[in-house]
Structure 1
Amino acid sequence: MRGLIVRFRFSEQVQVQQPIQLKRFYKEASIEMAVNPTNPYHQWLVKLDGKTVKTPSKNTLAVPSPQLASFIAHEFNMQTDYIRPTTMPLLTLARNAIDIEADDRIRQFMEQSIISYLERDTVLFRENPETKLYKIQKEKLDPQLKLFNEKFGLHLKTNFGLNIEPLKQYDQIRIETIVSELNNWQLVSLDAKVENLKSCILALLIWNNHLQVEEGVKLSRLEEDFQIAQFGKVEGHHDYDENTIMMNVSASKLFAQLIQTQSIAY
C-alpha cells in the first residue's frame, strides 16, 4: 500500500510540472562581480543579456562564489526554445536561500519540515518481519541507521508498519540543534536532499560524506523497487522518477560544495 501512495504522489507531481513552459526570452547568461549593498559577501550576479536575475520575491540573485554563479549561468545557457525549471536545480536552490534571508518564517517552516521527516523516515520504516522486503530492509538500512546514530549522536529505532513512534526528547533536541546550526544556504541544500530522498537520515549521511549520492538514492527507493520487481512498473515513470531524484540530490550536494569554495560569511 505504501508503494502505491508513492506512485500516486509521483504521478500527481508530473501533472503539475508538465504544463510549465516559458519561452526562452534571452540570448545569453553571464556572470559579473558587483557591490551588493544587501550582503557584501554575495558579490557574484547572474545576468541575462546584461539584466540582473531576480528571485521570486524580487531579490537580486547574488551568490557567494563565482563557481556557483557560473554553474547557474550554464543552466540558463543550456535551455533551448523553452525554459524547463526542473533542469535548473542550482538556480532554484540559490533563489530559495536568498529569499529565506528576507523572510525568517520560510526558514522556520523549512527546519520543521526537515525535522518532521525524521519521525517517518524511510530508513526507520520496516515491513512485517516475515516478508522478503523486511529482510532486504534489515540488510540494507540497518547499517545506515547505526552509522547515523553514531555520527550524529542520536538513538533512533525502527518502526514497524504504521506504528510510528514520536521522537524521544533527546533525539528531538539533538536534530533541532543540528538543523539550527546550518546557515540558510546549507539549510536549503539539506532540505532538497530530504525532500527528494524522503529521508532526513540519508540526506545527512550524504551531507557529511558518509554515503554516496547514487547509493543514497537506491536506498531511498528500496520499497518501491521491491514492489516494481514484484508487480512491474509504469513504463517511463520509474526511470524518470529515479533520474530526477538523482539529479536533484547531486545538484544539492554540488551546491553545498560551491558555497564553500571560499571562506565567506553567508
Structure 2
Amino acid sequence: MAGKDTDERVEMLPGGFVPGQRDSTQNPMMRAKEVMKTPLPKRFYKDVTISEDDGGYRVLLDGKPIRSPAKNIISVPRLAMAEALQAEWDAQDKEIDPATMPMTRLVNSTIDGVEEAREAILDEIIAYLGNDFLCYPASHPERLVERQKAHWMPVLDWAEGELGGRFVQASGILAVEQSPVMGEALRRHWQSLDRFQLGAAHVLMTLTGSALLPFALWRAFLDEEAVWQAAMVDEDWNIEMWGEDEEATKRRDFRRRDFDAAALVIRAHRS
C-alpha cells in the first residue's frame, strides 16, 4: 500500500476530548458510540515498531509514522507512552477500533489541540477547583460520611499545605466559594506542564470530577489506585446499596481505561 494511503487511513481515527468544550466528546462512552456509528477502518499494516526521533519516540506502522486527525506526525516524549501506543496498534485485529485505544485518543487530542488551548484548559482546571466535589461531602448515612472522610480529608489537608489556603466544606446542596489564592497557586504549579502532562491532567479531572485528585497524583501524594478509589467513593457506595447495572459497569470500565492512559502519562513524566 502506498504511503499516502497509509497516512490517510491512520488519520481516520478520532482525536478524543476537546479542551474547554462540554459536549458528548467529553464522555468517553458517548465518544465511542459516535465512532461506532461509522464503519471501522481495516487493519492495513503488519509490523508496529518504535523509533527514536529528536529526543522523542514515534510509533511506526510498517515503517511509516502514525498521524493525528489533523495530520500531525505522532511523537511522544516518553518511551512508556510509545510502548502503550505500540501495544494498542499491535492489538488491533481485522479492524482498527478507536474505542479500544485510549492512549491513542489521548495523544491525538493532545497533539492536535492542547497547546493552543493551554490557557483555556488552565482556566477550566481552576474553575473545577472552585467546585471540587471533595468539598461536597454527604451528611448521611454515617458509613458513607466516614468513607468519604477517609478518602478525601487527607487530600484536602495535604492540598491546603501545597496551595496555601483553607478549603470550605459545603453543608447540604448550597454551593461554596473557595479562596482564589489556591486557584492561582494551582495555576502556577501547572503552568509549566508540557502539553502531554496538561492534557492528561485535564482528562483525569473530567473523569474524576476533581482538580485536586490529579494534582495529588502528579505530586505523588496518592498513587493511581488511591486516586481512583477516592473518585469512586459515591459510585461504589451506590453499587453496594443497589447492586451493579450492566451499562453502568461498561461505562465505568471504559472510564477506567481512559483513566489508566492519562495516569500513565503523568507517571512516565514523573519517572
Give TM-score scaled by structure 1 length. 0.78
Distance of aligned partners of 1:203 and 1:66 in 2 relative to their CA distance in 1, 3 Å threshold: closer
CA contact (8 A) 2:130 2:183 kept: no
Report the counterpart of residue 67 of structure 2 in structure 1.
Answer: 54
Distance of aligned partners of 1:109 and 1:214 in 2 relative to their CA distance in 1, 3 Å threshold: same
Q: 1:24 and 1:87 mapped to 2: Cα distance?
A: 14
Structure 1: tracts of 5 or more residues without a match: 1-8, 35-39, 262-266
Distance of aligned partners of 1:46 and 1:144 in 2 relative to their CA distance in 1, 3 Å threshold: same
CA contact (8 A) 1:196 1:249 kept: yes
Report the counterpart of residue 205 of structure 2 in structure 1.
Answer: 194
Report the counterpart of residue 161 of structure 2 in structure 1.
Answer: 150
Q: 2:222 and 2:79 mapped to 1: Cα distance?
A: 27
* Range with greater deviation from structure 2 (193-202 or 47-56): 47-56
1:257 to 232, 245, 267: 267
CA contact (8 A) 2:218 2:267 kept: no
Report the counterpart of residue 228 of structure 1 in structure 2.
Answer: 239
Q: 2:147 and 2:52 mapped to 1: Cα distance?
A: 51
The alpha carbon displacement at 1:90 in A equals 2.0
The alpha carbon displacement at 1:117 in A equals 1.7
2:100 to 71, 87, 96: 87
Report the counterpart of residue 23 of structure 1 in structure 2.
Answer: 41
* Range with greater deviation from structure 2 (202-211 or 80-89): 80-89
Distance of aligned partners of 1:33 and 1:70 in 2 relative to their CA distance in 1, 3 Å threshold: same
Q: 2:90 and 2:141 mapped to 1: Cα distance?
A: 53
The alignment partner of 1:203 has SS state of helix
Q: 1:186 and 1:192 mapped to 2: Cα distance?
A: 10
The alpha carbon displacement at 1:259 in A equals 4.3
The alpha carbon displacement at 1:155 in A equals 2.0
Report the counterpart of residue 177 of structure 1 in structure 2.
Answer: 188
* Range with greater deviation from structure 2 (14-23 or 216-225): 14-23
CA contact (8 A) 1:100 1:184 kept: no
RMSD between aligned alpha carbons? 2.6
1:32 to 37, 45, 51: 51
1:215 to 216, 226, 239: 226
CA contact (8 A) 1:206 1:213 kept: yes
Amino acid at match of 1:255: V
Q: 2:164 and 2:88 mapped to 1: Cα distance?
A: 38
Q: 2:228 and 2:109 mapped to 1: Cα distance?
A: 23
Report the counterpart of residue 4 of structure 1 in structure 2.
Answer: none
The alignment partner of 1:160 has SS state of coil
The alpha carbon displacement at 1:77 in A equals 0.6
The alignment covers a number of residue pairs equal to 242
The alignment partner of 2:44 has SS state of coil
1:3-44 deviations in Å (ceiling 9; x for gaps) = xxxxxx9xx86354235242333223222334xxxxx544x2
Give TM-score scaled by structure 2 length. 0.77
Q: 1:139 and 1:66 mapped to 2: Cα distance?
A: 36
Q: 1:256 and 1:155 mapped to 2: Cα distance?
A: 26
CA contact (8 A) 1:54 1:60 kept: yes
The alpha carbon displacement at 1:129 in A equals 5.5
The alpha carbon displacement at 1:198 in A equals 1.3
Amino acid at match of 1:224: E
* Range with greater deviation from structure 2 (142-151 or 53-62): 142-151
The alignment partner of 2:68 has SS state of coil
The alpha carbon displacement at 1:190 in A equals 1.2
Q: How is 1:18-167 mapped onto 2 (pairs within 5 angstroms)?
A: 18-21=33-36, 22-27=40-45, 28-34=47-53, 40-42=54-56, 44-100=57-113, 104=116, 106-128=117-139, 132-167=143-178
Give percent identity, aligned residues only: 21
1:101-143 deviations in Å (ceiling 9; x for gaps) = 6x52x22222222222212222111223575533432343222
Amino acid at match of 2:67: K
Q: 1:227 and 1:67 mapped to 2: Cα distance?
A: 35
Q: 1:171 and 1:151 mapped to 2: Cα distance?
A: 9
Structure 2: tracts of 5 or more residues without a match: 1-23
